[in-house]
Amino acid sequence: MSTSAPLDDVLDCLVIGAGPAGLTAATYLARYRRKVMVIDGGSSRARWIPASHNCPGFPFGVAGNDLLQRFRAQADEFAVPIVPTRIDTLTREGGDFVAGDSRHSWRARQVILATGVVDRLPEINDVEQAIASGVLRLCAVCDGYEARDEVIGVLGPGDVVMGHAEFLRTFSRQVTALDSQAGDAPAEALRQRADAGGIVLRGAPVRLTLRDGACHATFADGSCERFDTLYPVLGADAQSALARALHAGVDESGELRVDSSMQTSVAGLYAIGDVVSGLNQISVAVGHAALAATAVHRQLPPNKR
Ligand SMILES: Cc1cc2nc3c(=O)[nH]c(=O)nc-3n(C[C@H](O)[C@H](O)[C@H](O)COP(=O)(O)OP(=O)(O)OC[C@H]3O[C@@H](n4cnc5c(N)ncnc54)[C@H](O)[C@@H]3O)c2cc1C
């Protein structure tokens, strides 16, 4: 079920974001017989996943869009309204929260923010195809296993790229770290660390090209290297602005800090999934959702049968 009209009365809980985290939280809350609504901007990170092989319960893998459809069908089953729009403002009025887009506003006793992160991608032709074909991979924890024994490039700044390259040595002997902050000559300390880890270290390529099912990196000196897989580790932008406007606490990368029940430093405002400081994984996101939804239910006035 979907609706584009705001509810007239106060929601028990408004969930912002319909990725794995938000849809799971909404399903839990609906099953606790709470008045819940989901509002979603329609750009879950999970839509990029060609096939996930570490998602619990899917031994033969599952595509991100199929998974999202299943989460959505489950929320639908318990009549959760899902409104397709983007929330621009979140304020407090009296004891409630008021969330708004350019046309409507919604009032809720509690809010769960499940707004995720947006990956910073490198410049490469046909980026969507590069991700769909597994030439560009965005999560070594998710799919390092699928890249085993491939020729792997990792692109990012200094220590960050080296940390990821070291992790990827679990899966392949042929790992090259491309230091996006260095020209032709990466720092000596980084070179020593690369040597110790059995990693090739190079400076930043001037161009990346998707061609013949591989990523071709061209360097300033005219040389070129072919990678079966490139992992960019250029960071991500946490979608935490709504919570930050209410002065919720964040870590150094803008991801939200929460307590053991997933509550931010703002009472009644919960955060779950990738937008929370920690490991960005579907299994973590749905675990967060179960904790937050149950805490929200317990905080609300009893709804006895
Ligand atoms: C290429 C790739 C492969 C991956 N592979 C795996 C894997 O194999 N296994 C695994 O566990 N994880 C994998 N991940 C990570 C996984 O996709 C994320 O951990 C997961 O999607 C996080 O769920 P989430 O609900 O927190 O956020 P998201 O799924 O990103 O959903 C956030 C939602 O919030 C919405 N939103 C944001 N701001 C607003 C706003 N202001 N108003 C309304 N809506 C808003 C967005 O539009 C979006 O729909 C992969 C990620 C990528 C990119």
Continuous segment of H or E residues that includes residue 153: strand 152-156
| pLDDT of res. 1 | 40
Token digits for 163?
A: 């940390």
Is ligand 1 within 6 A of the CB of residue 186? no
Digit-coded pLDDT (tens) for 189-198: 999 999 999 9
Residue 182 lies in a domain: yes
pLDDT at 8 over 70: no
DSSP lists the bridge partners of residue 11 as 108
Neighbours of 66 (CB within 10 A): 14
In whole angstroms, how large is the CA radius of gyration of the chain? 21
**C-alpha–C-alpha distance, residues 116 and 79, integer Å:** 24
Average pLDDT across the chain, whole number: 95
Is ligand 1 within 6 A of the CB of residue 18? yes
Indicate if 18 and 91 belong to the same structural domain.
yes
Alpha helices, DSSP H, located in 120-276: 127-132, 140-143, 158-168, 188-197, 241-244
Is ligand 1 within 6 A of the CB of residue 285? yes
**C-alpha–C-alpha distance, residues 158 and 147, integer Å:** 22
Last residue of a domain, one of 214, 232, 250: 232
pLDDT at 135 over 80: yes
CB of 176 closer than 8 Å to CB of 164: no
Last residue of a domain, one of 188, 206, 232: 232
Last residue of a domain, one of 232, 253, 277: 232
Digit-coded pLDDT (tens) for 165-184: 999 999 999 999 999 988 76
Indicate if 109 and 249 belong to the same structural domain.
yes
Residue span of the structural domain in which 254 resides: 11-118+235-299
Digit-coded pLDDT (tens) for 272-305: 999 999 999 999 999 999 999 999 999 999 999 9
- For strand 36-40 and strand 11-16, is the pairing parallel, antiparallel, or unpaired? parallel
Give every CB contact of residue 130 below 8 A, 6+ residues apart in sequence.
124, 136, 210, 215
**Ligand 1 pocket: which of 70, 139, 286 to mutate (most atoms <8 Å of CB)?**
139
Arithmetic mean of pLDDT, 32-38? 98
Arithmetic mean of pLDDT, 67-73? 98
94 Cα to the center of ligand 1, angstroms: 32
188 Cα to the center of ligand 1, angstroms: 37
| pLDDT of res. 2 | 40
Digit-coded pLDDT (tens) for 18-27: 999 999 999 9
CB of 54 closer than 8 Å to CB of 62: no
Is ligand 1 within 6 A of the CB of residue 139? yes
Is ligand 1 within 6 A of the CB of residue 49? yes
**CATH code of the domain in which 227 resides:** 3.50.50.60
| pLDDT of res. 3 | 43
Indicate if 111 and 239 belong to the same structural domain.
yes
Q: Please tell me the total count of domains within the chain.
A: 2
Is ligand 1 within 6 A of the CB of residue 131? yes
Is ligand 1 within 6 A of the CB of residue 289? no
Indicate if 137 and 224 belong to the same structural domain.
yes
Token digits for 227?
A: 């990678």
Indicate if 145 and 16 belong to the same structural domain.
no
Arithmetic mean of pLDDT, 112-121? 97
Reported as a pLDDT band with limits 50, 70 and 90, residue 9 is: confident
Residue 304 lies in a domain: no
